[in-house]
Amino acid sequence: MRILAFLIAVAPVTALAWTDLERSSAAQTLGDVLASEEPCGLTYDQDAIGAHIDASVPADDAEFTSMLTMMTMGAAHQLDRMSASALTAHCRQIERVAKSYGFIQAGD
């Protein structure tokens, strides 16, 4: 039984293992963070973004990139329409999320 639990724990995630809803949610969240980089005056570690993708997205999910592009473009459109106060609140939370993902260092 322990061997089976180990194999399940270390088995690579495949596109079949996650749902369309999970793909959409991951793309929406990451798209929001990525679209916010410049408007929020942040600079992300590109290697950390790659590591996040490696850890979060199944390697065989070819649909994720188009979903991410769509979500990033949608988030950029929304950012252009935000009031100063809404952008301040948005950017504060995005900075916290980006730090939690390792995209920016805690001292930055």
Average pLDDT over residues 86-95: 98
Full domain range(s) for residue 61 = 19-101
- Is 13 domain-assigned? no
Q: Is the pTM of this model over 0.85?
A: no
Residues 2-11 pLDDT 10s: 554 444 444 4
In this prediction, residue 108 has a pLDDT band, given cuts at 50, 70 and 90, of low
At 18, the pLDDT band (50, 70, 90 cuts) reads confident
Inside any domain, residue 107: no
Burial code of 44-53, b = ≥16 C-beta within 10 A, e = fewer? Answer: bbeeebeebe
CA atoms of 4 and 62, how far apart (whole Å): 29
Q: Average model confidence (pLDDT) for the chain? A: 88
Handedness of CA 13, 98, 36, 45 (dihedral sign): negative
Q: Please report whether residue 79 resides in a domain.
A: yes
Rounded to 5°, angle at Cα 82 from 69 and 102: 50
Look at the chain and report how many structural domains it folds into: 1
Residue 32 covered by a domain: yes
